[in-house]
Structure 1
Amino acid sequence: MTLDQLRIFVAVAERGHMTKAAALLGISQSAASAAIRALEQQHGVQLFNRVGRNIELAQTGRRFLPEAKAVLERAAAASNVLEDVSQTVTGSLSIAASQTIASYWLPRRLASFHEAYPAVRLSVTIGNTRQVETHVLDGTADFGLVEGRTESDILRRAKVDIDRLKLVVATSHPEIADIAPGRPDIRELRWIIREGGSGTREVLEDLARREEISLAELQIFLVLPSNEAIRQAVEAGAGATIISELVVAGAIAEGSLRSVPIDLPKRDFAIITHRDRQASLAQMALKAHLSEKAMASA
């Protein structure tokens, strides 16, 4: 039994899907299947039931899962002790980041971190805020970066930067009536928004509450899974959206989008970590690096 086999088993068990687990771990589906098969054959057990194309934990697998996770956590703790003793920042870091952060804020910062700490291997998983929170909670990510609110009380949250938001429409979009200065009538707009669980969608939900309007009263024309798709749909004249300035600054400068004056609060970019997991030197170094970069650009 190897640590790699345990990691693969835990990933498959938590996702209930061989291909998704393999993609998360950066291995082929056949390699993941072979590792599970070898683990079962070595010990003469069946860890999963194969039901058609689906896979689910067998009774033995359910009993084994907490033990496998405990071994992986102890192995990570042992690695952290060795790092602390040597004071050498090495190892690997898995980061889960929301789309805005992963696409526009994080890449340059990871590049400069790699220059400072070349022995640390980095991997990034992209999802919405709720998905990032789940990755940190189940241990598939060492820490997360989000712009939306988090729900779990066993996560630590630390601000690393501030994001500015814009209400944007295509340059050719008709003028929008104001209820009051800086308060466009949001019920008159056709909205293009992100999926539930997204921090970007959360901003519109908060605005609707502030205006004492339910989301059902808004003309939600289109729900899309990425910021880029939303930007392109708005540029094509399909409607309006509220989105990070990082996503639309270039389009506004080029003249394909225009910003509608509205009073929107700034939102935090935040690191989230699990309260009960010990941070490695590499994690502490990256957290410090991201915070320092944010202060330098403020």
Structure 2
Amino acid sequence: MTLDQLRIFVAVAERGHMTKAAELLGISQSAASAAIRALEEQHGVHLFNRVGRNIELAQTGHRFLPEAKAVLERAAAARNVLEHVSQTVTGSLSIAASQTIASYWLPRRLASFHEAYPAVRLSVSIGNTRQVEANVLDGAADLGLVEGRTESDILRRTKVDVDRLMLVVASSHPEIAEVAPGHSDIKDLRWIIREGGSGTREVLEDLARREGISLADLQIFLVLPSNEAIRQAVEAGAGATIISELVVARAVAEGSLRSVPLELPKRDFAMITHRDRQASLAQMALKAHLTGKT
């Protein structure tokens, strides 16, 4: 007994006519007749009574019809499952990412995503947190990755990792006085910071508020638009900065930078998407990949 035989049997039973059933299935009348005959001979039963040029279900056929339909329905359900599981994820994804994430956290993860989904084309633009948020809101990016706070309430945020922050100076920088254990005197430092709208600058702004002062109370020596420029300026002895451990870990290990004790909260790396835009299969696959829920 095959699925094709069951399919032909059901079609003939529902139409009461061999030729009409064959036309519906796109096969010849002789092929339909042969399938019914083979099914009857294989099991030693009569499924139909021939009445003139028409046929009608025999008692055995009446009993067999609901079972045949049930088998065909289960076969269709099984096929749908396999088609869904094997569905190829294709298309393109536009990703906007803040500098720390784009330069230090994202590349290896995108490489492994490409291995898993080679048919997905990826493009990445880099900006600060405010710029990434704007790109997702206006549709220039399918999704964003940020370390700073977002302001719009029509964005979904999904945590993808945690980042550790460090206060660093050049190895030749004079020792910094502590006002309390784990609390350096931030007003006594000359600062090199990122531009407004960056998540890294936001951390220093929060720290200043925690100390009861404003950013204007600090000695801001230099504002630079990239983490790499800041790292090189600090290594050259131009001042201090608060920056992701991902950016300066090697320089600290090699001795060109020195970490200064300062209690700093960890911050989340987050994926942001627009609430009103339906996610594609590629977006869902990337989200699962970055959150470790594959």
The alpha-carbon deviation at position 87 of structure 1 amounts to: 2.9
Whether 2:278 is the aligned partner of 1:269: answer no
Q: Which residue of 1 aligns with 2:217?
A: 217
Distance 2:186 2:158 in 1: 32
Match of 2:166, SS state, is strand
Deviation at 1:97, TM superposition (A): 0.1
Number of residue pairs the alignment of both structures matches: 212
Match of 2:213, SS state, is coil
Aligned pairs (5 A) from 1:140-289: 140-289=140-289
Deviations 1:22-81 (A, max 9, x none): xxxxxxxxxxxxxxxxxxxxxxxxxxxxxxxxxxxxxxxxxxxxxxxxxxxxxxxxxxxx
Shift, 1:199, TM fit? 0.1
Q: Give the TM-score, by structure 2 length.
A: 0.70
Cα distance in structure 1, aligned partners of 2:86 and 2:132? 31
Work out whether residues 163 and 267 of structure 1, in 8 Å CA contact, stay in contact via their aligned partners in 2: yes
For 2:201 and 2:271, the matched residues in 1 are separated by: 19
Q: Please, which runs of 5 or more residues in structure 2 have no aligned partner?
A: 1-82
Question: TM-score by structure 1 length?
Answer: 0.70
**Cα distance in 2 for residues equivalent to 1:275 and 1:194:** 30
Partner AA of 1:120 in structure 2: V
Q: Indicate the RMSD between aligned Cα atoms, in angstroms.
A: 1.6
Partner of 2:96: 96
CA contact (8 A) 1:84 1:281 kept: no
- 1:248: how far off? 0.1
CA distance in 1, matches of 2:273, 2:86: 24
Residues 123-147 of structure 1: CA deviation (Å, up to 9, x unaligned): 0000000000000000010000000
- Fraction of identical pairs, as percent: 88
**Alignment match, 1:125:** 125
Q: Distance in 2 between matches of 1:157 and 1:238?
A: 36
- In structure 2, distance between residues paired with 1:288 and 1:116: 12
Question: CA–CA distance in 1 between the matches of 2:225 and 2:202?
Answer: 14
Question: 1:88: how far off?
Answer: 2.1
Once the two structures are TM-superposed, the CA of residue 120 in structure 1 deviates from its matched residue by 0.1
- Which whole-Å CA distance do the structure 1 matches of 2:127 and 2:276 have between them? 23
1:160 Cα offset (Å): 0.3
For 1:212 and 1:84, the matched residues in 2 are separated by: 56
1:137-177 CA distances to partner (integer Å, 9 max, x unpaired)? 00010000000000000000000000000000000000111
Query: What 5-or-longer segments of structure 1 have no aligned partner?
Result: 1-82
- Aligned twin of 2:111: 111
Question: What do the CA deviations read for 1:217-255 (whole angstroms, capped 9, x no partner)?
Answer: 100000000000000000000000000000000000000
